[in-house]
Amino acid sequence: MLVKWIRCTVTDPRGFEQGQRKWAGLRGESGFQGQGGGWSRVRPGVVHLFSFWESRVLYDSFMALSHDRLATAQAGTFRDPRVRLFTHRFDVKTGFRPRFAEADRVRVAHCRVHEERAEHFALMQEKVWNPAMAGSPGMVRGLFAEAPGPEFMILSMWQSTAERAKYRTERIERLALRAQLEADVADLDGDIVELEPTWTVIPAQRP
């Protein structure tokens, strides 16, 4: 599965919101598996959007044939767009689905990792971080994805910010030491996203 992460700063909130409704046109696109997003709770005016595709081939076909038609409605409503593509590597918890209805917050972490430590970083995510997150109250589902660089994205969905904060406060320092996080990571960035339900798009049912 291909994961697309878009981050931008909105300059015209009303126009952006209106344009976002046009992305409902994704429903009928071949290979489209779901999209959701919302506003940063940390950075004023910043939006994060996450879309999921069956394969890079089908995503590239969409970009070549349909993307510009859907994107026109939001032209001029935002600045500083940053787009990154990742390949799903494994689930955080189990049974990841690109559905946002059960969550009201998303935590996204973006890690640039030292090349010689990339596999260790992935192993620690699987053996140390994942069990801790999966056992945390309020954690719905998530995924671990990678891109050349090496870069990694950890996307987790939560029922509330309070539950995610509890997990962070109680465990993160101990887990970071156990996973040797400082030795693995060259740069770490992240955000907490308040989901906007009207931005969620799910694929059309196919016969």
pLDDT, position 182: 75
- The pLDDT assigned to 176 comes to 66
In the DSSP assignment, the letter for residue 126 is I
pTM: 0.89
Give the 3-state secondary structure of residue 39. strand
Ordered per-residue pLDDT tens for the chain, 207 residues: 999 999 999 999 999 999 999 999 999 999 999 999 999 999 999 999 999 999 999 999 999 999 999 999 999 999 999 999 999 999 988 788 999 988 999 999 999 999 998 889 888 888 887 877 777 778 899 999 999 989 999 999 998 765 556 656 556 667 667 667 777 888 889 999 999 999 999 998 755
Model pLDDT, residue 126: 83
Task: Please state, in angstroms and rounded to a whole number, the distance separating the CA atoms of residues 46 and 141.
Answer: 23
- Looking at residue 157, what is its pLDDT? 92
The pLDDT value recorded for residue 121 is: 86
Could you tell me what percentage of the chain is helix, strand and coil, using 3-state DSSP and rounding each to the nearest 5?
A: 40, 40, 25
| Tokens matching residue 142 | 């998530």
Report the pLDDT value the prediction gives residue 169, as an integer from 0 to 100: 57
Q: Give me the pLDDT at residue 153, please.
A: 95
Element (H, E) at 48: strand 46-53
- Please provide the CATH number assigned to the domain covering 2-199: 3.30.70.100
Q: What is the CA radius of gyration of the chain?
A: 17
Single-letter amino acid code for the residue at 28: G
Q: Where are the domains of the chain?
A: 2-199
Residues 13 and 37: their CA atoms lie apart, in Å, by 15
DSSP string for 56-115: HHHHHHHHHHTHHHHHGGGTTSEEEEEEEEEEEEEEESS---S--TT-SEEEEEEEEE-G
